[in-house]
Structure 1
Amino acid sequence: MHTLVLLAALSSQITFKTSQDGALTTITPQVTLTQSCQCQVQMRFVRKGKGGESTSVQRNNLSIPANRPIDLSRLRINIEPSDSVTLIVTVSDGQTLNLTQQWPPSE
């Protein structure tokens, strides 16, 4: 069991911090890498609701240091109960590193 926790702590990963303030949801994707990286970060946000569907894509090149959680962005949105939203974050160095994570987690 301790080995699994240690491996999770030592691996590169994307996580999401979320908070609620009234009707607004704040989503902050974070990345922690085991090695420093000149990476391309892509965030794809899709919302489906009563008014239709919208997609937003952002791409940035970032210098990401090793072993430190780095906030990649902050997204504040009003999510209606009938809305379906997905945020997919990809971090890649174009070679060996290719991390992708989705919020909310797929069921």
Structure 2
Amino acid sequence: MSTFILLAALASQITFSTSQQENLTTIIPQVTLADACECQVEVLSVREGQGGKSTSRQKNTLFIPANQPIDLSRISFNIRSGDAVKIIVTVSDGKSLYLSQQWTVPMHTH
């Protein structure tokens, strides 16, 4: 049975779709689950740079169907030289399912 649980866990994943238009970077966290779930979803985004630090946290409950990529949010940043950006996405059913994935842009200079 542990092999079945492992396969289900491998089939469930969080990915990030990104696009860039001029100076604006858009990140779309997506989740695909092996089994349908009424899940708690949390999206935490943190941006640090010369202008200071901003944090945004979105929490909600979603019905996520099985084997279908679902967009969880759409986050856009104007990422400047010296900025560091981190997005952490967590999906949980409060029982056996717990997925967490992070997307980062380390502090960089151009």
TM tier, shorter chain?
A: 0.7 to 0.9
- Partner AA of 1:51 in structure 2: G
In structure 2, distance between residues paired with 1:84 and 1:24: 14
**Residue of structure 2 equivalent to 1:32:** 32
1:38-79 alpha-carbon deviations (Å, 9 max, x no partner): 000000001110011111100010000000000111111101
Secondary structure of the residue aligned to 1:104 is strand
Q: TM-score, normalising length from structure 1?
A: 0.87
**Residue of structure 1 equivalent to 2:100:** 100
Unaligned 5+ runs, structure 2: 1-6
Q: Does 1:77 align with 2:80?
A: no
When the two chains are superposed, the root-mean-square deviation of aligned CA atoms in Å is 1.8
Where do residues 12-91 of structure 1 align in structure 2 (5 Å cutoff)? Answer: 12-91=12-91
Count the aligned residue pairs: 99
In structure 2, distance between residues paired with 1:36 and 1:60: 16
Unaligned 5+ runs, structure 1: 1-6
**Residue of structure 2 equivalent to 1:3:** none
Give structure 1 regions of 4+ aligned residues with deviation exceeding 6 angstroms. Answer: none
Secondary structure of the residue aligned to 1:30 is strand
User: 1:104 offset after TM fit, Å?
Assistant: 2.3
Q: TM-score, normalising length from structure 2?
A: 0.85
- Partner AA of 2:94 in structure 1: G
